[in-house]
Structure 1
């Protein structure tokens, strides 16, 4: 792992800053919608933050894009380390962005920060898990567009198709609020496990050659 420090600058240069910046700007605009004169309601504030988190997650879907993927695959640093370094470089930016998004929502209508942060972390983890799965299962060096489209599709269909007994998208004050966020925690755990599993290098089959060949 002695070559990890040498990877930081090249990785920084290849991060999808344009996609992340655009997603972050869109998210802040959406979060700021709760400050509109007619928008001071807890329901709007909650859903504005949910939409902002989704917007940023769409940017994270591009995090593992690497046009030089087939070249960097030969470096001695394992893929899980390279992907973890990409995430580590973006994490401070993501934390600052989320803090700004939350503070844009007026305090009097702001939903419980811990609960809504759990939701945001889950959506972002799902984006990263999708990107890791696409990298592992395909040869596509830049799967971000497909992963983002898939995440957006899931976000639109989930509230419509998700079973009522496992409801996730509840409002503040709903009796199911605490139970729903326990379920959010389960989904987050599954997404993080997916990130870890799909980050692994593919197992290459070893060819046993006959001594006569």
Structure 2
């Protein structure tokens, strides 16, 4: 069943949005290398954070499916359909992030592990929000709403969070370790929310089962 779904799902992925997110990420990560003079660690940090946000904005469209109300009738549960989309997009996202990291000059490159944690958490938040919208509504394209929400959330995190809860600190800041412990907690929350949102509502499953039984029982 999974093999039969690979080609159709691969064709329906929002490749334009994913490509735009990846291209923007590489462009932002390459800014420190384009400038003359000594590499600036602060600019490298900002560039990689911008690249992480661009990738997450592209992934926000991953669950867009104009044929959602048709494919929901196939005998494949939503967790498998969503998981297959994520599995197909994950290598692309990992490749784009790796390329973005190496585009930043070594002298200006921030700690890669910590920035990768931020990038993964941001991407998972985007996917969890998209899955939650799909679960709670009938929209077929949550990507636009999720990308707008993600941009507003990033701006709020930068401007409104108090200093002791800041999520965007520099490597030389004594709060660096504590901040990334909070990033890890946010990632765990996003994983739980996203996993829960991928589960089909029990009521809808029951209604679908009853409809299927009635159709099978109907005389030809």
| Shorter-normalised TM range | over 0.9
Residue of structure 2 in register with 1:78 after alignment:
77
Taking the TM superposition and a 5 Å limit, the aligned residue runs for 1:1-213 are: 3-35=1-33, 36-38=35-37, 40-204=39-203
Q: Distance in 1 between matches of 2:11 and 2:38?
A: 40
On the 8 A contact 1:60/1:124 being kept in 2, the answer is yes
TM-score of the two chains, using structure 1 as the length reference? 0.93
1:161 and 1:117 map into 2 onto residues whose CA distance is: 23
Does the 8 Å contact 2:157/2:167 carry over to 1?
no
Structure-2 separation of matches of 1:189 and 1:44: 29
CA contact (8 A) 1:111 1:172 kept: yes
The TM-score, its normalising length taken from structure 2, stands at 0.90
Distance 1:79 1:37 in 2: 50
- Residue 164 of structure 1 deviates from its aligned partner by 2.2
> How many residue pairs end up in the alignment?
206
Distance 1:194 1:72 in 2: 23
Structure 1 runs (4+) deviating above 6 angstroms are none
SS at match of 1:55: helix
Q: Which runs of 5+ in 2 are unaligned?
A: 211-220
Whole-angstrom CA distance in 2 between matches of 1:81 and 1:168: 33
Aligned partners of 1:119, 1:52: CA distance in 2, in Å?
11
Q: Which residue of 2 aligns with 1:211?
A: none
Q: Is the Cα contact below 8 Å between 2:29 and 2:47 reproduced in 1?
A: yes
SS in 2 for 1:201: coil
Structure 1 residues not aligned, in runs of 5+: 209-213
Name the CA distance, whole Å, in 1 between partners of 2:2 and 2:132: 23
Alignment RMSD: 1.5
For residue 153 of structure 2, give the secondary structure of its aligned residue in structure 1: helix
Distance in 2 between residues matched to 1:194 and 1:132, nearest whole Å = 9
Aligned partners of 2:145, 2:151: CA distance in 1, in Å?
Answer: 10
Distance 2:198 2:163 in 1: 33
Distance 2:98 2:164 in 1: 32
Q: 1:164-189, CA deviations, whole angstroms, 9 ceiling, x for partnerless residues?
A: 22221100111111111111100111
Q: Deviations over 1:142-194 (max 9, x none)?
A: 11111111111111111112232222110011111111111110011111111
